[in-house]
Structure 1
Amino acid sequence: MTFVQIIDCKTSRVEDLNRLMDQWVERTRGKRTATHSIVGTDRSDASHVVEIVEFPSYEVAMRNSQLPETDRIFREMVALCDEMPTFTDLDVVRDEALYKAAARRLLEMIATEPELALLDEVLAEGYHDHDPTNAQDAIGMDAVRREVAMWREGFDFAFTVEDQIAEGDRVCTRWTWKGTHTGDFMGLQPTGIEVSMTGTLIHRFREDGKIVEGWWQYDLLGLMGRIGAVEA
């Protein structure tokens, strides 16, 4: 679960504090585990400074705090502040930007990840996949892996994400799929034909950022027509 730490302090030496933050980044280069940080000043009180630092998890943040460079920077930070800084530790329960990144990552993994077992990095156990071209929904990791394997056996393909919209626990992704028919697909022997199609995929996420449900929309009939399986 993503972890965020909020550092709240009062100082009349904001520029010195900014330089100290730059030194922290430089001194911990290659060792620092923070993925993102923001520093802001209060519009109604310029001496009130808030830093928001994001980490992949609480455990990773604790490793960062144990760096000797972090300890030295903290002592220098206290010296610049008018009073002792306060720290608020937050487990992130919803982050729409992370949801969008996970949706993109899933499409990338479907196309290129050699170890399909790793799909559980983004999919929850019991994931429910709705595909109107299938007689039955794929439910659970084994069913999803079989579905992905079927497409991989038939095509060498990749996705391009065209648009994404996130709201609440849902992400809608509009994608373009391009592939070459290199193997057996639904009983049709390989033709070597290059094909493409567009579609949308809506994902529902749970609080820990894993995907629990997905709804696909794409033109399978048109694809089958282009590789000669049905009349175009």
Structure 2
Amino acid sequence: MTFVRLIDCRTRRFDEMNRIMETWVEQTRGKRTATHSVIGKDRSDASHFIEIVEFPSYEEAMRNSHLPESEKIFRDMVALCDEMPTFTDLDVVRDEQLYTANVRRFFETLATRGELPPLNDLITEDCHSHDPVNAQDTIGLDALRREYEMWRSAFDFTYRLDEVIAQGDRVCALWTWNATHKGEFLGIASTGRDVTMSGMTLFRFGEDGKIAETWWQHDQLGLMEQLGALDALET
């Protein structure tokens, strides 16, 4: 079970504490088992700091605490604190990766049959979409909806998410698109063919948790070949 430790301290010497922590990180490289660490400063009290450290399990956290380097940094940190730090140990009972969940919901929504939902709960009004097959970026939710509708009117499709990786405010999705060509697409009349396309999309999220920018890479040339659009060029 994932384990989180909250370290609550007060200090007017955070810069010194930060240098000690950087030294500790270097000294314990390859030994520490923490997977994520965040330090926050209280907006209403500049001397109040909380560190949130995540471990794969409580047992791993204990092994980390018992490293000789950890015991030394604890003594050094206490010396810089205005009062004794407090520790809160938490077993994680629910963990939601909100940006990742929104990316999954985005692809599911695009593939929804029937009328396309408003999408304003997923995408910002001024979202920028970068796609190398388009001459210009697509900017704004209304323009994005028109682009999505163009694909939806030409194909019945689903997405399979092969890999989803999140870091900070960005999520990268590697996907496979499976579709049936049912309507006109870039001048090509409906063929009824089953087609597939692989691609990758990088999402940037805004502070409101909505998609603010996207970068698309996909094998549209391969799609055109499956639709027979390249047959005339090969003869």
Q: Report if TM-score (shorter chain) is over 0.5.
A: yes
The alpha-carbon deviation at position 212 of structure 1 amounts to 0.1
The alpha-carbon deviation at position 113 of structure 1 amounts to 5.9
- Paired letter, 2:176: T
Quote the sequence identity (%). 49
The alpha-carbon deviation at position 147 of structure 1 amounts to 0.4
Aligned-pair Cα RMSD in Å: 3.0
Question: Which whole-Å CA distance do the structure 2 matches of 1:136 and 1:114 have between them?
Answer: 28
1:108-140 Cα shifts (integer Å, max 9, x gaps): 111116443421111111011111111121110
* Residue in structure 1 matched with residue 131 of structure 2 by the alignment: 131
* Residue in structure 2 matched with residue 150 of structure 1 by the alignment: 150
* Residue in structure 2 matched with residue 98 of structure 1 by the alignment: 98
- 1:57-206 to structure 2, matched below 5 A, reads 97-112=97-112, 114-206=114-206
Question: Which whole-Å CA distance do the structure 2 matches of 1:196 and 1:120 have between them?
Answer: 28
The alpha-carbon deviation at position 104 of structure 1 amounts to 1.1
1:152-204 Cα shifts (integer Å, max 9, x gaps): 11111010000011111110000000000011111111001000011000000
The alpha-carbon deviation at position 208 of structure 1 amounts to 2.1
- Paired letter, 2:139: I
* Residue in structure 2 matched with residue 228 of structure 1 by the alignment: 228
The alpha-carbon deviation at position 222 of structure 1 amounts to 1.1
The alpha-carbon deviation at position 100 of structure 1 amounts to 0.9
Question: Which whole-Å CA distance do the structure 2 matches of 1:98 and 1:106 have between them?
Answer: 12
1:210-231 Cα shifts (integer Å, max 9, x gaps): 1100000001111011101223
- Mark the CA change 1:158 to 1:107 in structure 2 (over 3 Å): closer, same or farther: same
Question: Which whole-Å CA distance do the structure 2 matches of 1:101 and 1:169 have between them?
Answer: 13
The alpha-carbon deviation at position 49 of structure 1 amounts to 6.5
The alpha-carbon deviation at position 145 of structure 1 amounts to 0.6
Question: Which whole-Å CA distance do the structure 1 matches of 2:219 and 2:92 have between them?
Answer: 44
Q: Please, which runs of 5 or more residues in structure 2 have no aligned partner? A: 1-57, 66-87
- Paired letter, 2:200: T
Question: Which whole-Å CA distance do the structure 2 matches of 1:175 and 1:100 have between them?
Answer: 14
Question: Which whole-Å CA distance do the structure 2 matches of 1:141 and 1:108 have between them?
Answer: 17
Report the 3-state secondary structure (helix = DSSP H, G, I; strand = E; otherwise coil) of the residue aligned with 2:111.
helix
- Paired letter, 1:142: D
Larger Cα Rg: Structure 1 or Structure 2? 2
